[in-house]
Structure 1
Amino acid sequence: MGIGNNWREKAKYRGSEENMELTELQKQITEPDRECEARAEKHWMQLAKPLSGLGKFETMVTQIAGIQRTEQIRLHKKALLVFCADNGVVEEGVTQTGQDVTAVVAGNFLKGETTACKMAQIAGVDLFPIDIGMIRDVEGVSRPEDKVAYGTKNMAKEPAMTRKEAWNAIETGIRKAKERKAEGYQILLTGEMGIGNTTAASAITAVMLNRPVEQVTGRGAGLTGEGVRRKVQAIQRAVEINQPDRREPLDVLAKVGSLDIAGMCGAMLGAALMQMPVVLDGALSMTAALLAVALVPACRSYLIASHVSKEPSCQLLKESLYLDPVLNADMNLGEGTGAVALMPLLDMAAKVYFEMPTFEGIEIKPYEVLK
């Protein structure tokens, strides 16, 4: 069953500061402008090409028209937010590499030496690495106002973070979306970097979708069969020890989540608040989207799914969120690479949308809409 507008009735929140702020978010994040969507769809129908010939790309452009509240969509300035954080659960042997890799890759983002950087250069995307919870600081990336904690605790032994830390990370993501909007960015992409974060993503997905841990847990960055077994056992212990309440998304995030997932969740809420489309990457950002939609159901209309990753949870997540990803390329890298890969294709669709002549303009009888 997908997460729909009835989630708010099912969820329960404690009387707290974040409860008041969440209630305000729920009021301020509204559905896109359906009239603008209708005008964009009508324009597609008038273009001198087979009806719906560009398939999902026409749907995306139409969706963006509603989000931006204009059929004259704007996609010139694109920002990729890459949230970087470490996870205490790596103590359980759930990864091939140590936590020091997170900081190394974060530093390489500044040098333009990661996969996402190379792809972003081609796609015209500006990349912003954010240290929301690495175990050590990286010059040029780490900022006190962004860093919520120096990594999470080992969720197989205790809650990954406090409820306050989880909410602070969401707020950081919201603030980052607002900053990009103020700088003139028109579309937001989400990415992450954090050794051990697929363990947190699988734990959140298992709890939120009420699925067996084995069904939603994959190899991450290349675990052996024995490594996957340890990963499953660690998640099962985490759920048993912490007893996260699936009716309360913030409780799930705090007990078995990660700071980078929390940051992406906040960025999605912030994008919706700022009336910006937000492009998801793979399973990690879909997990963040699952939480964002559970917290504010209207946020779902602002989400664009880029691709289906090899993580076993991805299919379940896209079905639960009613998302229809464009790419199926067996990608499994993270960093927002799938979201970046979608951008040149979306630019092509926008080029057709704005510059293709109409049937009337070239004096050709339009195609008839089949009933």
Structure 2
Amino acid sequence: MTLLEQSIQHITQPDQEIKSAALKRLANQARPRGSLGRLEPAAARLASICGRLDVKLDRKTIVTCAGDHGVVEEGVSLFPSEVTAQMVYNFVQGGASINVLAAHAGARVRVADLGVSHDFDPGLDILHKKIRKGTANMATGPAMTREEAAASVEAGIGIANQLADSPGLDLLGTGDMGIGNTTASSAIIAVYSGLPLKELVGPGTGLDEQGLDLKARVIKRALDLNRPDPADPMGVLARVGGLEIGGLAGLVIGAAARQIPVVCDGLISTAGALIACELCPAAGQYIFAGHRSRETGHEYMLRHLGLTPLLDLEMRLGEGTGAALAMHILDACTRILADIKTFEEVGIENAHEG
């Protein structure tokens, strides 16, 4: 049995008795019922995943998966592939947006190289999980082999297991880095939505209308050539996906198998979550959508997964930044459930009568 198969077998339904107890406590707190809106069901979901009412998210890690994309040679990005490796170094040095926002959320950042077209020193403080140096150009053939796609997913599962074992993990955030990865992610949601590419393709690194048209044409060519089957998610990943997207899918599956909640960033992280849920629908019970990205296709991904984002700040950076900001909200959810007193606890009787 493969690591993927073993992990899927270990994904169970979160504790429904704890969820019911959480919802009852929230309903009986000394405030109008439902007055904290979407924070309440999020708090109950966290409790059910973690198996207790007083959840503490002390050990937070954001994993930023990195990989390059052969489709960049079609001109779908304003930046060359070399930027991916340069940004990995920036993450390690602590100078990127994700470093700042993660630190503010009390989370550490780990960078995982799934497929960067660069030889990093083995001593560099990243997670060395390279499957190959970037995908092939999906506009001229499959992005990778099925075996490489499966290896990228299992690499993500391995990272989740490693973090859960040491130093321990209460909340996992997912992020990405890879020039060209909005093209691959848009192709993935196109497979599952069936919507016109004009409605799904976003600006990525800042494309103008002419660039967006080119990007849509390139994705259409890739889809027509590779004909990915939505009933075969590993095949979709192999034909039009990315190595870091496979890693992101594996992170979700690995965390779910260890009963650890996952908060996803934007378009690329959610593409990974989508593949994870197509491989194992039960994994979706462990996912929180950090925010709604300005990348057009992200809204359709969220709808497909049935997720309501915690934030909507018109962001589209990636890296895990949306996940980092949402961690503050999830921390607040834990305290709302555990610390707000019920009417009974404060000695108010029959508060909801009449």
| Per-residue deviation, 1:365 | 3.3
Tell me if the contact between 1:46 and 1:366 (Cα under 8 Å) persists in the aligned partners.
Answer: no
Aligned position for 1:187: 171
- 1:43 and 1:143 map into 2 onto residues whose CA distance is 41
Is residue 215 from structure 1 mapped to residue 199 from structure 2 by the alignment?
yes
- 2:281 and 2:339 map into 1 onto residues whose CA distance is 35
Counterpart of 1:128 in 2: which secondary structure? strand
Is residue 122 from structure 1 mapped to residue 104 from structure 2 by the alignment?
yes
Is residue 44 from structure 1 mapped to residue 26 from structure 2 by the alignment?
yes
- 1:351 and 1:65 map into 2 onto residues whose CA distance is 11
Aligned position for 1:358: 342
- 2:60 and 2:350 map into 1 onto residues whose CA distance is 35
Matched AA of 1:134: V
Aligned position for 1:77: 59
Matched AA of 2:240: V
Number of residue pairs the alignment of both structures matches: 351
1:84-103 alignment to 2 at 5 Å? 84-103=66-85
| Per-residue deviation, 1:345 | 2.3
* Pair 1:367–1:320, CA change in 2 (3 A): farther
| Per-residue deviation, 1:322 | 0.7
Counterpart of 2:341 in 1: which secondary structure? coil
In the alignment, which of 234, 253, 278 is matched to residue 294 of structure 1? 278
- 2:191 and 2:43 map into 1 onto residues whose CA distance is 34
- 1:277 and 1:366 map into 2 onto residues whose CA distance is 36
Is residue 344 from structure 1 mapped to residue 328 from structure 2 by the alignment?
yes
| Per-residue deviation, 1:22 | 4.6
In the alignment, which of 208, 232, 247 is matched to residue 263 of structure 1? 247
In the alignment, which of 15, 18, 40 is matched to residue 58 of structure 1? 40
Tell me if the contact between 2:29 and 2:341 (Cα under 8 Å) persists in the aligned partners.
Answer: yes
Aligned position for 1:12: none
- 2:353 and 2:75 map into 1 onto residues whose CA distance is 57
Matched AA of 1:131: D
| Per-residue deviation, 1:186 | 0.6
TM-score, normalising length from structure 2? 0.95
- 1:219 and 1:287 map into 2 onto residues whose CA distance is 16
* Pair 1:92–1:172, CA change in 2 (3 A): same
Aligned position for 1:152: 135
- 1:136 and 1:319 map into 2 onto residues whose CA distance is 36
- 1:282 and 1:209 map into 2 onto residues whose CA distance is 17
In the alignment, which of 123, 128, 151 is matched to residue 168 of structure 1? 151
- 1:168 and 1:369 map into 2 onto residues whose CA distance is 58
- 1:169 and 1:78 map into 2 onto residues whose CA distance is 23
Question: Which deviates more from structure 2 when the two are superposed, residues 208-217 or residues 20-29?
Answer: 20-29
Aligned position for 2:352: 368
Aligned position for 2:209: 225
| Per-residue deviation, 1:366 | 5.4
Aligned position for 1:34: 16
| Per-residue deviation, 1:112 | 0.9
Tell me if the contact between 2:92 and 2:126 (Cα under 8 Å) persists in the aligned partners.
Answer: no
Tell me if the contact between 2:110 and 2:127 (Cα under 8 Å) persists in the aligned partners.
Answer: no
Aligned position for 2:317: 333
Tell me if the contact between 1:51 and 1:367 (Cα under 8 Å) persists in the aligned partners.
Answer: no
| Per-residue deviation, 1:333 | 0.4
Matched AA of 2:340: M
Kindly provide the CA deviation profile for residues 317-355 of structure 1, in whole angstroms up to 9, marking residues without a partner as x.
Answer: 111111111211111000011111111222223223222
- 1:24 and 1:322 map into 2 onto residues whose CA distance is 26
* Pair 1:111–1:63, CA change in 2 (3 A): same
Unaligned runs of 5+ in 2: none
Matched AA of 1:320: H
Aligned position for 2:220: 236
- 1:90 and 1:363 map into 2 onto residues whose CA distance is 64
Tell me if the contact between 2:67 and 2:113 (Cα under 8 Å) persists in the aligned partners.
Answer: yes
Matched AA of 1:331: M
TM-score, normalising length from structure 1? 0.91
